[in-house]
Amino acid sequence: MTVSVLSLVGRSARRFLLATAGLLVLSSCSSGIQVRSDIDPSADFSSYTTWNFFNELGIEGGYNSPIYGEHFRAAISREMAQRGYRKADDPDLRVNVTIRTDDKVKMRTHTAPYMSGNYYRRPGSPYYGSSMGVGVGVGSRPTQTTEASVFIDLVDSGRNRMSWQGVAVIDANDKVAQQLRDAVYTAVEKVFAQYPHTAGN
């Protein structure tokens, strides 16, 4: 796990690329999700027992559909409850969700069948035969892809400082295999698998 000291981002940063905020949650191939986390080593996780969301998440507002925020709020609420945290109006931790997209060029391997040989008539025979063979060629080609990253931030309310951040990264051009809600829950569950703490511990 990479350890770093993270500071709270501002409202303008949390709204970055709102128009494309749905890219990750629309890609629900769970095997393609990469997760990582960062922690503030000075944070006292044993003092955290309550939590709540920021009034507006980074994925809410602007051109985004409200459904993104609703699904993330529900999925995160489930994860926090499973860890014993209680929701409160004046919480120890506040949670934010943001999304960033990056355009990249990847080399993708592809295969293509091909035929070789010729078609012929055997001498003295009315039948035609073939000396053709079928093979498979392997090559690669550049493909433009969009990589989307979901950031789930747990911020110490008293210090106004980020205590923990979990990140899920996925190729946003992957085939959509499930519904939006399932994709969000999968991403959130994988991110929180990186979070080793429970309330007051």
Q: What is the pLDDT along the chain (201 residues), one digit of tens a residue?
A: 333 323 333 333 333 333 233 333 434 444 567 889 999 999 999 999 999 999 999 888 766 667 778 888 998 999 999 999 999 999 999 999 988 877 766 656 655 554 444 434 444 544 444 444 445 555 566 767 677 788 999 999 999 999 999 988 876 654 443 455 666 777 888 888 888 889 888
The residue among 37, 13, 168, 172 whose CA lies nearest residue 101 is 172
Residue 38: per-residue pLDDT: 92
- Provide the pairing of β-strand 133-156 with 161-171: antiparallel
Q: What is the 3-state secondary structure (H, E, C) of the chain?
A: CCCCCEECCCHHHHCCCHHHCCCCCCCCCHHHCEEEEEECCCCCHHHCCEEEECCCCCCCCCCCCHHHHHHHHHHHHHHHHHCCCEECCCCCEEEEEEEEEEEEEEEEEEEEEEEECCEEECCCCCCEEECCEEEEEEEEEEEEEEEEEEEEEEEECCCCEEEEEEEEEEECCCCCCCCHHHHHHHHHHHHHCCCCCCCCC
pTM greater than 0.75: no
CA dihedral 24, 86, 14, 20 (to 10 degrees): 20
Residue 177: per-residue pLDDT: 36
| Residue range(s) occupied by CATH 3.30.160.670 in the chain | 6-107+146-192
Residue 106: per-residue pLDDT: 61
The tokens for 51 are 């939590």
Contact 74, 25 (CB under 8 A): no
**φ/ψ of residue 8, rounded to 5:** -70, 130
Angle at 188 between CA 47 and CA 51, to 5 degrees: 25
Under CATH, what is the fold of the domain 6-107+146-192? Answer: Double Stranded RNA Binding Domain (3.30.160)
With b meaning 16 or more CB within 10 Å and e meaning fewer, what string describes 124-133? eeeeeeeeee
